[in-house]
Amino acid sequence: MKLFLLLLILTLPSCQEEKKQAKPNMQKEANTRDTNEEEKQSLLNVPAGAVIENLVLPYYNDDRKKVSLLTIKEVTVANDARIDKTILKGENLKVWLFDEDGAIRSTTVISSADYLINKEQLVAKSEVLMVGSDGKFAAKSKGGIFSLTTGQAILLGPATAQFKIPQKKDIEAP
């Protein structure tokens, strides 16, 4: 028993030294946060419940070409207790998605959606109407997820879509 106590007394100080060494490393990691993440959150110096009107959020790729454009008629700043993040609840939204050349690929109208700031995503749980710029397609769904940084969208069902397919021209045999 005396040997056990002696070993315990000798090992405790070494364990405490390891804990002391671990704490500064954790503090260093906390101090080296991603500056991009801090910039995104710095936009939220607005208290929960605040209402912003006519918000416009353009998105560009690394080559400074347009990827998407989001306009929101009315935005309410809200805290989501489930994920402990601030979200923006928008009403009367429009999303334009652009192709590689910067031309409008599609226009989407959404009655209400949540904008997840940390993911730069728009999550619609209401009716979504998407129309192609060339008029060759239209889709209507009960929700959707839009990645504004990549210009991609997923429409959630139930959904309906209409496509205009050009008719084949009759080819005459020689």
Dihedral angle of Cα 61, 65, 67, 68, to the nearest 10 degrees: 120
Domain 48-163: state its class: mainly beta
Nearest to 156 by CA among 130, 133, 117: 130
Burial class (CB in 10 A: 0-12, 13-18, 19+), 59: middle
Contact 156, 142 (CB under 8 A): yes
pLDDT of 119 reads: 84
pLDDT tens readout for residues 9-39: 444 444 444 333 433 443 444 445 444 444 4
Dihedral angle of Cα 87, 89, 94, 96, to the nearest 10 degrees: 10
Q: Domain-by-domain residue ranges, the chain?
A: 48-163
pLDDT tens readout for residues 141-173: 999 999 988 888 999 989 999 998 877 776 666
